[in-house]
Amino acid sequence: MRKAVVTGASSGIGKAITNKLLHLGYSVVGISRTISYDAFSHKYFQALQYDLSNAKQTEELCEILQKDDVYILVNAAGFGRFSPHEELNSKTIEAMTHLNLTTPMLLSNALLHSLKKNEGYLININSIEALRASKFAGVYSATKAGLRAFGDALFEETRKSALSITNINPDMTESNFYDELRFDVSENENEKLLADDIANAIEHILSMRKGAVVSDYTLRSLHFGIKKKTKK
């Protein structure tokens, strides 16, 4: 059975992708700070609890996974804070940069030999912010644009192998991503994406013939919408 590794698997997009891969017949190693085996009632699911915004824990995880035989790596873990840059805490900047950009590069480094050997897939969950410049999103946009650039460069580097590399750039997606933010997705179904939309994109990527690669996959909601949260 082919194995997939999914970061951020406990909720949101990562959880939807994990469910999709289990349904498609893969065994899945799901990684997050809070995940447990109870998160998915499936015999081919394995939970690994690691805080991927922490450099030491990320290094420990890479050492473990480097010994594994992996077919798919999905870098889905991430978080964002949106404020004037001078108002961001230095620890928030460091944690966001590590989780959104450094960790995917380290995991890709650890698993690249296995992914190439198995002619597998490396999929980065980026953001629409990787494609544009938005105020109050300087650090978040930089990390996502950096991850997209990393994926593009790695695609060119490994092109003589049969590894497929895809950057997925979703628009605002209904998830717990917005729990600590001052805004949320719209309540209108046509003004947001669902986590399952991104999971379905993964299925599409995996269903294509190996000779064709969707290197950049952008998903947008039909209409634009945003909901500002009321101050308590």
CATH number for 116: 3.40.50.720
pLDDT at residue 230 in the model: 77
Q: pTM above 0.85? A: yes
Give residues with Cβ within 8 angstroms of 140, minimum separation 6.
80, 81, 82, 96, 100, 127, 129
- Residue span of the structural domain in which 208 resides: 3-228
Query: Whose CA is closest to 124, among 62, 61, 166, 161?
Result: 166
**Six token digits for residue 63:** 């050492």
Alpha-carbon span 222 to 200, nearest angstrom: 17
For the segment 48-80, what is each residue's pLDDT rounded down to a tens digit? Answer: 999 999 999 999 999 999 999 999 999 999 999
Residue 224 CA neighbour count, 13 Å, CB half? 1
For the segment 2-29, what is each residue's pLDDT rounded down to a tens digit? Answer: 999 999 999 999 999 999 999 999 999 9
**Which residue reads 């970061």 in tokens?**
7
**Contact between 208 and 117 (Cβ < 8 Å):** no
Give residues with Cβ within 8 angstroms of 132, minimum separation 6.
141
pLDDT at residue 180 in the model: 87
Handedness of CA 40, 45, 49, 50 (dihedral sign): negative
Stretch 112-131: mean pLDDT = 98
**Six token digits for residue 169:** 């750039």
Total count of domains within the chain = 1
